[in-house]
Amino acid sequence: MEKNVNQTVTTIVVAKVNGVDILASQVELGLVPIKPICEALGVDLKTQREKLNSNPLYSQLGGLSPSVAADGKEREMYCLPFEYCMAWMLGINSANVKEEIREKLLDYQRACVEVLKRHFIGNVRKQAEINQLEIKSLERINELTESKNRINSELKDEKERLQKIRNERFNTEPSLFD
């Protein structure tokens, strides 16, 4: 953790982009200034801010916040919450970044897509497995219900037979002309 003695904003290094430490402010719930990321990638800060401000998701989250700049001084910088920076970087057009960083950005974007794929496909597979378990359980319940109905029917028949036997026992009148 880094803290500038003259400043009130405490920061931590949350990532490295093209060898540049990306700082997040702890007191501001992990807000990350986008300027150092834009500089490290070689993309235009103004263009990126315009894109972020025109996006309904990011425009609600981004804004000016006190941040410690590369020179160690506190400045108002446009920031995003750390977790949204990852998504924002996924949407940066690699054709617009410095040539020497392009492949690294593409690798990062591919890794993000892979994580999303594993998450969503994993959930689909898990749901399919749960569905199969539910189907097997319902089939077993049907089998047991059929067995219960058969047993209840046999039980009813046996009780009726028992009742007839008992009724015969109490029917002791002699029959002369049967």
Q: Does some domain include residue 111?
A: no
- Can you give the residue range of the structural domain that contains 156? 119-169
Give tens-digit pLDDT for 64-91: 887 777 677 788 888 898 889 888 988 8
Judge if pTM exceeds 0.85.
no
Q: Does some domain include residue 143?
A: yes
Q: Does some domain include residue 176?
A: no
Q: Does some domain include residue 103?
A: no
Same domain, 75 and 135: no
Q: Under 8 Å CB-to-CB from 168, ≥6 apart: which residues?
A: none
Q: Does some domain include residue 60?
A: yes
The domain tally of the chain equals 2
| Sheet strands side by side (includes 63-68) | 2-3, 10-17, 20-25, 31-33, 74-81, 63-68
β-strands 31-33, 74-81: how paired? antiparallel
Give tens-digit pLDDT for 93-122: 999 888 888 888 898 889 889 988 888 887
The whole-angstrom separation of Cα 89 and Cα 136 is 45
Same domain, 91 and 44: yes
Task: Kindly tell me if the per-residue pLDDT of 138 is higher than 80.
Answer: yes
